Amino acid sequence: MAALLKGKHPELLHLNITIMSYFKAVFDASRPLSVKVPEEREIHSKMSTNPLFADPPVLLADYLLALDEQDVAIQNAEFGGIERTAIMRSKARVVDDMVRKLKAFVTVVSDGNTDIILSSGFRHTKPRQSMGDMPKVEGVKRFATDISGQLKLNWNPVKNVGFYEVQVRPLEDAENGKIINPESAIANADSGIDDNRVKYSSSSSRIVIDGLKPLIYHGIRVRARAPKVLARIQTYWLCW
């Protein structure tokens, strides 16, 4: 869909923002002509009879002409010769450029509707596949350091991970400044009573965090993250 922004900022009056769906028309132009040509013909056949595609960026009559010229060039190239081959490739590039423009047009018109995309003769992008539940992060270890307020952690790597998220939460009684029981503190934190955690990320199975307040308990959570997947949590209690 497209939205025209209007309001207090005149510089945005003519800014169109288009939000595209995940599903798009696709066409692999790198394939051999023997594979592409039938699909290119099918695209013309279906789009020329579908009123949804009545105003394409490429005239379908011109597209049909380009397909016919490509067919002739392919037939001539069978006799061999550098010149005939060059002409065939030139005609194929013309068709590829037209298909590219038609593909973009179909993607916009369909707005992610796979039935509309298929009705044009194009194929559509494959649906996203869930990676399933990621395994629990195991083997989290703290390494000694001489720097006050520094935390060094290491854990077992997780396969197919996008990145690791490390959450650090001080576990100190806000009223009197005393260290409180870690178990009761995390119960309050998990219920949303005390949520002052700080998040860090790491692309590897280790991290160094500086600037933590020494001599108080900290709750540490390590999560393995991947696209749209959140792993089970493993929580560790550490004290400086």
| Total number of residues shown for the chain | 240
- Has residue 72 been placed in a domain? yes
pLDDT of the residue at 158: 85
pLDDT of the residue at 227: 55
Give the end of a domain, one of 77, 94, 124.
Answer: 124
Give the domain extent around 115: 2-124
Q: What is the CATH number of the domain that holds 203?
A: 2.60.40.10
One-character DSSP codes across 80-137: --HHHHHHHHHHHHHHHHHHHHHHHHHHHHHTT-HHHHHHTT-EEPPPPPP--PPPPP
- Has residue 219 been placed in a domain? yes
> Is the same domain home to 118 and 34?
yes
- Has residue 215 been placed in a domain? yes
> Is the same domain home to 78 and 163?
no
* Per-residue pLDDT reduced to its tens digit, 150-197: 888 988 988 877 888 888 877 765 455 555 555 555 455 444 444 566
Instruction: Give the mean pLDDT of the chain.
Output: 77
pTM over 0.85: no
> Is the same domain home to 56 and 149?
no
67 pLDDT band (50/70/90 cuts)? very high
> Is the same domain home to 152 and 189?
yes
> Is the same domain home to 99 and 166?
no
> Is the same domain home to 189 and 106?
no
105 pLDDT band (50/70/90 cuts)? very high
Domain count, the chain: 2
Residue 235 bridge partners (DSSP): 221
Give the end of a domain, one of 69, 91, 124.
Answer: 124
**Backbone angles phi and psi of 38, in degrees to 5:** -60, -40
> Is the same domain home to 6 and 96?
yes
Give the end of a domain, one of 71, 98, 124.
Answer: 124
Largest CA distance in the chain: 92
* Per-residue pLDDT reduced to its tens digit, 193-233: 445 667 788 888 888 988 887 777 777 888 888 754 444 44
128 pLDDT band (50/70/90 cuts)? low
